[in-house]
Structure formats: C-alpha cells, structure tokens
Structure 1
Amino acid sequence: MDINDYIESPFEIKISFNKLLNQYDDLIAADNDFISANARRVLKIAEDNPILRDGFSDFELLKTYESEIEGILQDTFSPLLTNNEIKTASIPFHNFTFNSSERFKSVLKTAGDNYDLQIKNMPTDDKYIFACAIILNICYGYSLNFKRPFFYEIPDANGIIRYYKMLYNADFTEVIPKEHAPKITEEDYNELIDNFENIELWKAKFPPNSYLFKGFVISNIFDITDDQSISNIKSSLIGEEKRKDESFMKNFHSIFQSLLGLKDIQVGFSIYNKSEDTFQRVYGAGMKSYLLNDLETSQCSDVLCEWSYDRLLKEKKYFSISDIRREFEHPERNAPHIQVLHQQGLGSAIIAPIANEEGLMGILEIVSEKPKVLNSINANKLVDVMPFIVSAVERSKNEEENLIEAIIQKECTAIHASVHWKFVEEARNYINEKRNSNETPTFNKIAFDEVYPLYGQMDVKGSSDARNAATQKDLLLQLGYAEKILSSAIKEKELPIFEQIKYEISEFRLDLKENFKVDSEHAITVFLKDEVKPVFQLIYETQNALKESIEDYFNKVDTELDVIYFYRKHYDDTVKLINNNMSSLLDEKQVAAQKMYPHFFERFKTDGVEHNMYIGESITKQESFNLVYLYNLRLWQLQVMCEMENEYYSKQAEYPIALDVASMVLVFNQPLSIRFRMDEKRFDVDGTYNARYEVVKKRVDKAFVKDTKERITKKGKLTIVYSQKQDEEEYLKYIQFLQSKNVLDKDLEFLELEDLQAITGLKALRISILYKDKKDDKTFYTYNDLMETIKA
C-alpha cells in the first residue's frame, strides 16, 4: 500500500533518510576516529540500500528494511535511552510510526490490542492548507505560524487516559517543487492569507502532488497528563450552560481520574449558603453531592463536625479521609460526614473548600469506593486546579445573581427593551461621574419628549357585581351550614347561647338575601369567626353526635380566611385566567408589532388587562419616525383588541364561571412627554398639561353615555374614545377597513360622554365585534393595506 493512497495533498510523500545521511557524509572527515568509523558504518548501509536515500512510499518497505533503518537511526534513537525516551520516527499527517523506542512500544502495549493510535488536534479539515503553509515557509521564505500542539490520548493499564504531547523535529525533511508546480508570487501570497477557508483557491495555487516531501520526522513525546488534565478542567469550566449537558459530569470524572491517576473516583459538588449556613445541591445533569446524599439542603452543623467545619469554612483548607470505614468504626471519630459517606459505601474521600477572599462558596467532593486511594498526599494535586474551580464558581454565582436580577426586573420592575438604551446611557454617565468626582453622583432624569400615547383595556364587565354575587353565595352557604348544625345542637341540649347565635344567623341570612351591602361581608365574617367558631368548638367537645358535622363544616371553611371560599374562588380563578391568557396573547402579538416599528409597551393586570404604548423618535434614538408608523400601530391595536375578544369568548366555556368582557381604546392625538418615576419604578406623563391624559385614562371606562345611565363600554362591542374631529375621521377609516375584513360589524354608534371631572367634550365610536366560530387567518393588516383598500 502506498503512503499517498486515499490522501489529497499538495505533497507526494516519500520516506527518505537522505538529509540525515548527508550529515554523515560530513562526519567521515572528523578527527574523532570513532565518529568517523560510525559514519562509514551508516553510509555503508545506505550504499548497499540506495532506496533509503532515494526514498520510497510503499508501507511494506518499512518492514523489509526494518533492521537497516534501525542501523541508520541508531544515533538518533540511542539504545541506552530506548527504555526512557518516548520517541518515534514518522511522517506528518499520518498516524503510523516506525522505529519507535521501547518505552513508546510499552505504552502502546499497555493500551491493549484494540487501541487505535490517533493524533489528537490534528487539523483534519485543514490538512491541505497546513501542508501549503509548510511549502510557503520552506520554499518561499514566508513566516506563517500554523503550528498546533499535537498529542495522543492513550489509556494506561488501569484504563485511565494519559496525555502525551508530540514535538516534531523536521530537520531531516526536504520540500521540493515539481516541474508543474505554479510559482507563488507576492500577489498570490497576499490573496492566500486573506482566504484561509477558500480551499479551492489553495488547491489552485498548490495543485495536488505538485511538491515532493522527502524525508521523515522524529517525534519526541512527553507525558503531560497533569498539565493537560488541568487544562481540560479549565476548558470544561469555561463553557456556558455546561451543567445542562448530560456528558459534562462524566467527562469531569474522567479528567480528575487522569489528574490523580485513579480510575474509580467520582466528583461531587455542594453550594454554601452563607446567610443560612447551609449546604445546597448543585442543579444540573449528573450533578451529585456526596455530603448531602439524597438531601436537597442541610445545615452545615448537620453535615460536618466542629473540626471539619472550622477546617473548611474558617481555615479554607481541604482534608482527606483515607479510610472511611475505619473512622466510622471509631466511636470518637464518627462525625456526621463520616456517617453519610459510609452510608453510600465509600472508602476514601477528599473534601476541599471552593473559597475566595470573601469566604466559602462551595465544596468539592472527590470520593472513591476503595479505601486509602484518596489521601493527604495525592490531595496536594488539587492545588493546581482549585483556582480554576474557584473562578468558575465565582462566574457562576455572578451569572446567577444577574439572572435573579433579570427575573426580578422582568417580573417586578420591567424596563422595556425599547427604552433600555436610555437607562444604559444614564447608568454609564452615573459610573463615569462617580469615578471622576469626589461628590455623590445623581442619576439623571429619564424622559422622552414628543411621543404619541396609545391606551387600551379589556375589562371584566360588571366585575364588582359578579364578585358581590359570589360573596353573597358563599356567605349564605356558610350561614346555612351553621344554622343546620345549631338546630341539631339545640335538639340535644338547649342552651340560650345556641338560640341567640341561631337567631343572629337567621337575621344575617335574611339581610343578605334582601339587601347585600359593601360592609355585609366584613360584619358576617367577624361574626362567624368570633362567635360561631367558639360555639362550634364547644359543641365538638361536648356532643359526640355532631362531631362529624362540625368536622365537615370546618373542612369547607378556608383556614386562612375563616370563611367558605367556594364561589369567590371560582370568580377569582376566572379573573386570573382571563388576565393570564389575554396577557399572554397580547405579549405574543407585541413581538410582531415591535418589528413593525420599535415603541414602548407595558401592560397591567387589573380586573382585566390594560396596556400603554408610546411611539416616537425620542424612543427609537433614530431619525426614522414617520406618522405612518403611528397610524400602523393604531390599526394594529384595534385588530389585537378584536382578537383578544374572539380568543376569550371562544374559550369562555372553559372558565370556572361565565363572565363578560368589554374592550375600549383611548385616542389622544397630541404628542406628550413621559418620564420614569424612580420612586414608583414606572413611566408616567410629564407636565401639567399632559396629566389630563392620565385623568381620562383612569375615569373614562366608568363614564356614562351622555343623558343616560348606560356605561360607555359594553360587552360585545369595541369602544373608541376620542375628543377631536380628526381622530374621528381617522378611526372611521380603520373601522370601515376592518368591516371589509369581517372583523367589525355594521352597527356603528356615534356617542357623546357625560362630562368627567374637569374634562368635557369626549366622544366615542362604538361598534360590535364579529366573533368567529373557528380560528381562521390571523393575518394583521397594515396601514398600507388600508391605503390600498381606500384607493381601490
């Protein structure tokens, strides 16, 4: 078989000892007779076997001339060092070796018959370009550093992976251009160094087999297991999201096995919570804590004895247990950590603190089922790897803290992405001011001028009445149970107090049925808690026949509220589901809206879902705003409100109780200013004039149609509140467009609102929403679609 078979390369490779033999030609004239005689010996071998100088590419000839090659390489492969040096002769880009030292043969023999020698980190995909770089260096004098550290991973007798680094000695190689090899110019070189990944370009400049590679290389190999293990630990800890990978801990075990030279060891971790003085489990695929075993968390005092606690937390030093069973059987040394390790069938362990200047962050646990294999001697190897573990834990803690802050910000004090840049800008100014001044800096006002507001809400219609009705039912139900129990108690034992309580229950029931008031709930709740409950406890203790009824009564009563919470729970659960489902839909649709044009958006959960939007150039930080984007967002808002209504009513039967909703949007045609209120952690309008907008927002949904007692919002209808004629004209276009798309009905109403406090002249457009039985195309129409429809 030819060396060059199945390999595409700019080289035609020939194994040759010519360049080495040339050095022996010079040594014949040496003054030293021994050196001269040895040179003649080597050259005689070459003279008798000219192919060794001329070169060959047939693998079989390596075996044919094995003894002759050994004779030529006797000086470079000293017989005195053959059992010490790990050394081979080889050809670049190939995994085969020849004329290996006895030490290398021994390493391979130990690895087993099934071991396939492979060079790690060999640039498989880049071999061709790697060879071209060699040609540029040797034949054209360019200095291109394309070197990579090559190494072998070879298992030892215990199956532990050991790492061997290869250093090539290429002194005995020649690279010779063939006749048809294109000559590389300066222009070619400049083009090549800017096109590393263009393999076709490299092949054009260096066609396959256009250069002769003649010679051999000597590989000096060194055991770098400790260094590589440390490097692997570092690499493993650097990558993000590694803990989610199933193979992470398996690889981590293997790396520590190589570092310590021990096959049967496992690695565990636990986190230290300083505020609670507890150890906690590290979450991740394959993660385990041997100190905690099956526990999620535990007090440090329950895991460690006083000495080991001080050793880890105060001295920040590791300790080892070479024989866990021996310690367990010793009555004076049977500490909590010894017990839990022995319980898991472990024989020896090293417990090391992961600590920085601020204190303990976690624990590294290395364990083995065999006694004495882990001890205070090999524990010293941790000194080199602990800094990387400490750095990784520090980074992980910072990432977790940042994640926690991000979640808090998202769930509690969200800063919308559209305005986040402004906060970042002011935060940088704050930091720079703090660095450059001795005075305490102030966080500048966050404000946006000339932005157009949009407001909408989908509210539960008659929410107060619905909740009052649920409360009334709950209280009547509980009073009925109580009255029934008291009637039974009076039959068995007549006590005036029973009669008194029963009378009060009857009065409360009658009053509830005829005249439910706002304060009725509080009065009855206090009565049931302070008067009925003690009496029922007495009945439970004195009348065995009513024990079961009393138990049933208290099982129905909410333990926190001391009242039956049945119908009200259905109401509260329904409102919560409405809020969650509608908010999710609104958030989902917002993603597409932001792509149309960035704008500020926030929503609130009340008895329904409200949302604010602000759009303008000051928010986008770009000179790109056009009023068309405002019109587009207004049209989008109407479509979303209609879709939310459709979504709700299509699933209304799935809610605990049937509630109705009503939708409204508020139009404000003048731009205004908004600012972030630091104390409230939210945006609000800025300035006295703009405050009118906020007043209208808070009151308009409760307003009546002028000269009537009819609320402006109505179930099944979309209400658009405005004040200017031009707003009416604009929204009439949207309505007509959505009517043509079967989103809105034809029953448009033009209404006037009653005067609100200090606000007059509000008007409204109100129109029925068309509900669809089946989900059809949810495509959202743009303002451009509207314009095209109008033109048509």
Structure 2
Amino acid sequence: MNINDNIESPLKLKISFNKLLEDYETLSKSDDEFIVAKANQILEIANKFPELREGFSDFSTLKVREKEIKIILQDTFNSLLTKNEIKTASVPFHDLIFNASERFKSIIKTAGDDFKLQIKNMPEDDVYIIACTIILNYCYGYNLNLRRPFYYQIPDENGIIRYYKILYNADFCEVIPTDIAKPITKEDYDDLLDNFDNKELWREKFPPNSYIFKGFVISNIFDITDDQSISNIKSSLIIDETCMEESFIESFHEIFSSLLGVKDIKVGFSSYNKEENTFERVYGIGANSFLINNSDSKKCTDSLCKWSYNRLLNDNKYFSVSDVDRMYGLSKGRTPHIKTLHQQGIKSAIFAPIANDRGLMGILEIVSFKPQELNSINAYKLIDVMPFIVSAVERSNNEEENLIEAIIQQECTSIHPSVSWKFKQAAKKFLLDSQKKKGSKASFSKIAFKNVYPLFGQIDVKGSSEARNLATQKDLSLQLTLVDKVLEKLPNEEKLPIYEQIRFQIESFNTEIKNEFKVDTEQQLTSFFKQEIEPLFIFFLEKKNFAKEEIENYFSKVDTNLGVIYYYRKNYDDTIALINKNMSSILDEKQVNAQNMYPHFFERFKTDGVEHNMYIGESITKEESFNSIYLYNLRLWQLQVMYEMENSFYQNQNEYPIGLDVASMILVFNQPLSIRFRMDEKQFDVDGTYNARYEVVKKRVDKAFIKGTEERITAKGKMSIVYSHKEDEIEYLKYVRFMQSKNMFGDDVEILDLQDLQGVTGLKAIRVSMIYQKNEGDENTFYTYDDLIKEIKA
C-alpha cells in the first residue's frame, strides 16, 4: 500500500533519511571518538539498506525496517527525554506517524481507542496550494511565509479537551523536480501571488506528482491548553454575534473546563445594577445565574453575606467556596450565597467580580457539582482571562446604552429613516465645525425639506367626549350610591345631623351629575370622596361596629391609587387604547410596503383615534427619482389603508369593552410646501406663513360643517375626502370608482361644500359610504354600516 494513494498533490511523498544521514557523514569526521563511532554505526545500517537513503513510499517498508529506523532516529528521539518530550516523525499533509516519543504514545492511549488524531485547523481545500508554496520556497528560492500554528485537540483521562501546538522541523526534507515539472518564471510567480484561491491556476503551474518530496518532518508538540483556552475566551468575547447565541454559553463551559482542568463545570453571569444595588440575570446568551438562582433580580445584600459583599463589591476580588455542604453546616444555612448554592445541589464554586476602574459591572460564576473541584488555587488562573471578560462586558454595556438611546429616540423623539440622512449630514457638519472652531460654539444646521407634498389622514372616535363624560357620570353615580348605602345602615343612636347633611350633599351631587354635569364636577366629587368620605369610613371600621360589610364593599370597588371608582372610565380608556393599538399596528405594517414602493416621511399620532402625516418629494429621497406617479400611488395607498383600518375596527368590535364608532377623513393639499424640523418641539412642522394655512385646515377641518347645515363633514360609516381644487376632485373620484369596483365603497357619492373656517374658504368634500367586508369561509360577505350594526347588536 502506497502512502500517496488517494492524495492529490504536486508532491509525490517518499520517506527518506538522506538529509539526516548526510549530517551523520559530517559527524563521522569529528574529533570526538564517541560521536564518530555512533555516526559510523548509523551509516553502516544505511549502507546495508539503501532504501532508507533513496526513499520509499510503501507502508510495508516501515514495518520491515522498523528496528533500523529506530536506530537511525535514536539521537533525534532521545531515550532520556522520551517520557517528557511530545515528539513525532511523519511526512507532511498525511496522518502517518512512524516514530513517536513515549509521552506522545501515552497521550494518545489515554484519549481512548475511538480517538482519531487529526490536525484541527488544517485547511483541506488549500493543501494542494500550500504544497505548491513549499515547492516555490525549496526549488525556486522564493521566501513565501505561509506558516500557521497547527494544533491537536486531545481529551485527557478526565475527558477534558487539551490543546497541543505542533512545531515542524523540516531540516531533513528535500524537494526534487521530476520530468513533468514545469519551470516557474518570474511572470508565473507574479501571477500566482494574486491568485491564492485559484486552484486551477496552481494545478496548471504545478501538475500533480510533478515533484518528489524526500525526507521526513519532526513534530515538536507542546501542551498549550491554558494559552489556547485564554485565546478561545478572547475570541468568543470579541465576536458580538457569537455572544448573543444560545450556544455561546455551552462553548464557555468547555473552554473553562480546559482552563481550570475540571470536568463538567457550569458558567453563569449576573449583572450589577448600581442604582438599585441588585444583581440581575443576563438574558440573550443562554446563561444562568447561580448566585441569584435564576431570579430576574435580587438585592446584593440578600445575595451575599457581609464578608463576600465587601470582597466582590468593594475590594473587587474573587473568592471560592470549595465545599458548599461543609460551609452550609458551619453557617447553619444562614449565609445567603451558601444557602442558594446548596439549594441548587452545587458543591463548589468560584465568584469573580467583573470590574473596571469605575467599579463592579457583574459577577462571573463558575460552579461544579463535585466538592473541592473549584477552589482558590485553580481560581488563580482567572487572572489571565478576566481582562477579556471585563472588556467584553464594557462593550456590551456601551452597546446596551446605545440601544436604550436608540429605543428612546424611536419611541419618544423618533427621526424617521427617510429623513435620517439629513440629520446625519447636519451632525457631521456640526462635529466638523466644532473641531475647526475649537471652543467657539458651533450651530446645528437647519433641517428643512422644500417642495414636498403633504398627505394627512385621521380615523377619529365619534362622540369620544360624550362617551368619556357618560363613563365618568356612571362611575361617580355608582360611588355616591355606595356611600349612601353605608349611611343608610347607621343605627338610630348614630344618626347625627352631620350625616344627614352628607346625605343631602350626595343627593345634590346626583342631581348635578344627571342634569348639569360640568367640567369641575368630577374634581369636586373626587375631593369629596377623598377628604370627607374615606377618612369617615376608616373611622367607622376602626372605632365602630356597624355597616362593616357595606364599607368593605365600598373600598373593594374603589381604585386604591385614584381613590375613586374607575370601572366605566377604565372600560372607555381601555377601548380607546385598544382601538389605537389595533389601527396603529395595521398602519405601521402597511407602511413597510409603502416605503418599499417609494421612500417618504411618515409619522402618526394617537389621540382619540389615529392621525398620520406623510410628506413625499425629491428633497426627501435625495435622488433624482421623484415622479408625480409616486404621489398618486401614495394617495391611493392611503385611501385603501384607511378603509382597511376602519373595516378591521368594525369586524373586531366585539373585542372592545364598550361599543364606539369611528369616522375616517383625508385632507388633500394640492400644492407642494416646505417643512422644517423644530428643535425645541422635536418634530416637523410646515415652514413659512403661506404653508401655515395647511396646518390651520388640518387642525380644524374634522369639526367643519356642511354648508348651510349643522351636520359635521365626518360621519360614521363614511369616508370624507376634503379638498379645495377641481383637479383633486377629479383625481379622487377616480380612486373612489376603483374602490367601488372592489366592493369597498358604496354608490352614494356626495360632493359637498363646507362652511368657511377661520381664514380658510372654498373647501369641498367627497363623501362616500363604506362597504365592510367580512370573510366567511371562501366567500366575502359585504355590509353597509347599518347592516353591520344590526348584525353586531343581534
């Protein structure tokens, strides 16, 4: 069997000791008689068996000449060091080892019968090309440094992975061109330098088996488990994405097992919240916290005893618990961290502070389920890895702070992605100006967009003020009734005139609620309940022995935070919140598609319903790509999405605590305008006096009446489209007809004139009924507003 079988390489391998024997020929001329005798003995063996010098590729020769090879390699594999040195003799790019030290043999034997020795980071796909670079170095004198550290991963007797670095001694190798070898010119070399990954090019210049490798390599192997474990920890912590994977912590268990030489340990983390003085669980990396036993958070003083608290938080030093059960007995289970470890079945542990010059950031927790496996001695090894963990946590904390800032910006002072480029541009200029002026105050550039087309739409809850007042009246009336029931239960001897006066006051309040409910009525009654009724009822409970059941019933219905009954108002508030949430989610989801059609500015607001602003134009996209077709498309999209929002509202009305109606309206503004970001208000607004007319209309139009009537333009079950130019009417009537064809709008299209608003005249509106659609199996069922309400109430 040939060692070159099943290997594609430009090198044909031959095991040869020629270069080593040449060294012995030199030694045979030494002045040292002992050295000369040894050299002559080895040369005599070589002369008897010429294949040892000429080279061979047959595996069987290794077996036949095993004794002679061992004698030739005696000096290389010193018998005095064989139990200490880890050394092998082999050929390159092959797993064949034909001589090894006793230490190496022992390591392989301990690894087990099923262990297969393999270089872990040998790039198999690049072996051919690496062999070519060796040829360039040996035969053509080019100094190409392609050395990489290779290593073995071999388990020890405890199953812990240990790392061994391989250093090659290639002094006894030679590379000889064959008849099929192609000469390599300077042009060939230049070509190859920029084409490392072009295997076909290398195969062309160095055909398979075109060179002979004669010799052998000696591998000097060193145990670098500690160094490699530290490197692995460093590598794992450097890569942000890896740290967030659930598998990250599992690999950490293995790495720390190798570092500490302890099998089956677990690694946990807890972060330190300085403001709250708590330890908190770290989410997102699959880590547990053994210190707080997987609670979300726990007070530091409840997690540690006084000594351990001072050790970690003040001194920032690690400590170990080598025998948890022993310490649990000595402390009688009163020491917090010992008790927690004992409850989890942990037998030994190390706690190391993750701290920088600003103080503690978290705790590294290493635990074992065997006593004395972890102790202060192997904990000493953590000194080398803690700087990398500290650096990773610092980076993570900075990223978290940036993420929090981003969330605050998104949720509280959002800058829409479509215009963020303008803010970045201004911010860069601001930084540059600040650096140039060196102390002089730089000014932030004005953020404005010219010639953009506005779109505004709202879906408003109809009669929201009346519904809120009705809910308030019901809550207040119910609370007055409960108070009166308590006063009814007073025994005769307790019926003081003051209680009669309170009952009279209750009756007066009831009359006011029913007949003259005013803005300050709610405030007056809230003050009455808190200042007069609540102290009186508490006095009855503590000092008297009557109406106890009625008083407890009263307090059970009163909201403890508000001091009033908040039942009907809560239903109202919950309904408004749910309406806003559901409709906003539809709008936000549809916006993603709209932005893909053509980028534009978008913002929405939750009031008693949902409003949204959009601006589209060349100055926002920053590209010469805008066309009026994108404006028309966005207008149609807006009309369709608002229909979907209202349709969804009525189809899911049974989800809401109380029944309310909504009305939809779109405001069409024909002319482009300018918008400017107002730094003080952190929002966009129209820029200039002329453009302010748009804002005036936007704020007042939903309250406008149809000319000559007392009827509002917005109506339940109808879409209202407000405009001022004939071309807008023509455009939107096209959209209406299109949506009528989709069974979204009815046939009752109205063209209406609106009464003049303050400073605004000539407004008109298209109003059309909506046809609500409900999926029933494979068919769509269509309803007018009246049909839908009848079905809901049925």
Shift of residue 680 of structure 1?
1.9
1:361-396 CA-to-partner distances (Å, cap 9, x unmatched) read 223334445565545444432222121111011101
Name the residue aligned to 2:98: 98
**Alpha carbons of structure 1 residues 310 and 134: separation in structure 2 relative to 1, 3 Å:** same
1:497-521 CA-to-partner distances (Å, cap 9, x unmatched) read 4444444434443443445444443
1:135-165 CA-to-partner distances (Å, cap 9, x unmatched) read 4444455444433211011222333222110
Name the residue aligned to 2:738: 737
Counterparts of 1:17-416 in structure 2 under 5 Å? Answer: 17-30=17-30, 32-180=32-180, 189=189, 192-263=192-263, 265-293=265-293, 295-304=295-304, 308-320=308-320, 337=337, 340-341=340-341, 348-368=348-368, 374-416=374-416
1:283-307 CA-to-partner distances (Å, cap 9, x unmatched) read 3455233443454434444444555
In structure 2, C-alpha distance between the alignment counterparts of 1:374 and 1:632, rounded to whole Å: 68
Counterparts of 1:617-766 in structure 2 under 5 Å? Answer: 617-766=618-767
Shift of residue 220 of structure 1?
0.8
**Alpha carbons of structure 1 residues 702 and 137: separation in structure 2 relative to 1, 3 Å:** farther
**Alpha carbons of structure 1 residues 468 and 182: separation in structure 2 relative to 1, 3 Å:** farther
CA contact (8 A) 1:490 1:498 kept: no
Name the residue aligned to 2:445: 444
1:59-115 CA-to-partner distances (Å, cap 9, x unmatched) read 344333221221222222222322221110122233342210111112222323332
In structure 2, C-alpha distance between the alignment counterparts of 1:343 and 1:322, rounded to whole Å: 16
Q: What amino acid maps onto 2:645 in structure 1?
A: M
Name the residue aligned to 1:468: 469
In structure 2, C-alpha distance between the alignment counterparts of 1:621 and 1:379, rounded to whole Å: 58
Name the residue aligned to 1:454: 455
CA contact (8 A) 1:490 1:499 kept: no
2:691 alignment partner, SS class: helix
Shift of residue 348 of structure 1?
5.0
**Alpha carbons of structure 1 residues 189 and 639: separation in structure 2 relative to 1, 3 Å:** farther
2:100 alignment partner, SS class: coil
1:772 alignment partner, SS class: strand
Q: What amino acid maps onto 2:406 in structure 1?
A: A
In structure 2, C-alpha distance between the alignment counterparts of 1:530 and 1:99, rounded to whole Å: 97
In structure 2, C-alpha distance between the alignment counterparts of 1:766 and 1:365, rounded to whole Å: 68
Shift of residue 684 of structure 1?
1.5
Shift of residue 613 of structure 1?
1.1
Q: What amino acid maps onto 1:717 in structure 2?
A: K
1:227-250 CA-to-partner distances (Å, cap 9, x unmatched) read 111101101211224454343223
Name the residue aligned to 1:786: none
CA contact (8 A) 2:170 2:216 kept: yes
Structure 2 stretches of 5 or more lacking a match?
781-794
Q: What amino acid maps onto 1:706 in structure 2?
A: K
**Alpha carbons of structure 1 residues 766 and 286: separation in structure 2 relative to 1, 3 Å:** closer
Deviates more, 1:442-451 or 1:753-762: 442-451
Deviates more, 1:44-53 or 1:390-399: 44-53
In structure 2, C-alpha distance between the alignment counterparts of 1:49 and 1:594, rounded to whole Å: 82
Deviates more, 1:207-216 or 1:418-427: 207-216
In structure 1, C-alpha distance between the alignment counterparts of 2:67 and 2:490, rounded to whole Å: 114
CA contact (8 A) 1:322 1:371 kept: yes
In structure 2, C-alpha distance between the alignment counterparts of 1:458 and 1:704, rounded to whole Å: 17
1:628-674 CA-to-partner distances (Å, cap 9, x unmatched) read 22222222211211221222222222222222111111122222222
In structure 2, C-alpha distance between the alignment counterparts of 1:648 and 1:173, rounded to whole Å: 82
**Alpha carbons of structure 1 residues 714 and 203: separation in structure 2 relative to 1, 3 Å:** farther
In structure 2, C-alpha distance between the alignment counterparts of 1:416 and 1:569, rounded to whole Å: 33
Shift of residue 616 of structure 1?
2.0
CA contact (8 A) 1:121 1:148 kept: no
Counterparts of 1:519-534 in structure 2 under 5 Å? Answer: 519-534=520-535
CA contact (8 A) 1:752 1:762 kept: yes
Deviates more, 1:753-762 or 1:35-44: 35-44
1:192-236 CA-to-partner distances (Å, cap 9, x unmatched) read 554544545554555544444333211111111121111011012
In structure 1, C-alpha distance between the alignment counterparts of 2:316 and 2:546, rounded to whole Å: 66
In structure 1, C-alpha distance between the alignment counterparts of 2:190 and 2:262, rounded to whole Å: 51
Counterparts of 1:490-569 in structure 2 under 5 Å? Answer: 494-537=495-538, 540=541, 546-569=547-570
CA contact (8 A) 2:353 2:364 kept: yes
Tell me if 1:770 matches 2:771. yes
Name the residue aligned to 1:789: none
CA contact (8 A) 1:660 1:715 kept: yes
Q: What amino acid maps onto 1:163 in structure 2?
A: Y
In structure 2, C-alpha distance between the alignment counterparts of 1:186 and 1:571, rounded to whole Å: 85
2:666 alignment partner, SS class: strand
**Alpha carbons of structure 1 residues 144 and 613: separation in structure 2 relative to 1, 3 Å:** farther
Structure 1 stretches of 5 or more lacking a match?
779-792
CA contact (8 A) 1:685 1:691 kept: yes
2:657 alignment partner, SS class: coil
Instruction: Report the TM-score, using the length of structure 1 for normalisation.
Output: 0.89
**Alpha carbons of structure 1 residues 28 and 427: separation in structure 2 relative to 1, 3 Å:** same
1:38 alignment partner, SS class: helix
Name the residue aligned to 1:785: none
In structure 2, C-alpha distance between the alignment counterparts of 1:79 and 1:196, rounded to whole Å: 43
Deviates more, 1:433-442 or 1:219-228: 433-442
Deviates more, 1:479-488 or 1:460-469: 479-488
Q: What amino acid maps onto 1:20 in structure 2?
A: L
Shift of residue 40 of structure 1?
3.3
**Alpha carbons of structure 1 residues 329 and 529: separation in structure 2 relative to 1, 3 Å:** closer
In structure 2, C-alpha distance between the alignment counterparts of 1:669 and 1:138, rounded to whole Å: 80
In structure 2, C-alpha distance between the alignment counterparts of 1:199 and 1:288, rounded to whole Å: 47
Q: What amino acid maps onto 2:522 in structure 1?
A: E
Shift of residue 124 of structure 1?
2.7
Shift of residue 612 of structure 1?
1.0
Matched-pair identity in %: 66
Q: What amino acid maps onto 2:582 in structure 1?
A: N
Tell me if 1:588 matches 2:589. yes
1:548 alignment partner, SS class: helix
Q: What amino acid maps onto 1:627 in structure 2?
A: S
Shift of residue 52 of structure 1?
3.0
CA contact (8 A) 1:501 1:532 kept: no
**Alpha carbons of structure 1 residues 332 and 529: separation in structure 2 relative to 1, 3 Å:** closer
In structure 2, C-alpha distance between the alignment counterparts of 1:335 and 1:542, rounded to whole Å: 45
CA contact (8 A) 1:87 1:100 kept: yes
Shift of residue 25 of structure 1?
4.5
In structure 2, C-alpha distance between the alignment counterparts of 1:132 and 1:662, rounded to whole Å: 78
1:233 alignment partner, SS class: helix
In structure 1, C-alpha distance between the alignment counterparts of 2:779 and 2:357, rounded to whole Å: 61
Paired residue total: 778
Q: What amino acid maps onto 1:274 in structure 2?
A: K
2:387 alignment partner, SS class: helix
In structure 1, C-alpha distance between the alignment counterparts of 2:108 and 2:355, rounded to whole Å: 41
Q: What amino acid maps onto 1:713 in structure 2?
A: T
Deviates more, 1:196-205 or 1:611-620: 196-205
CA contact (8 A) 2:540 2:546 kept: no
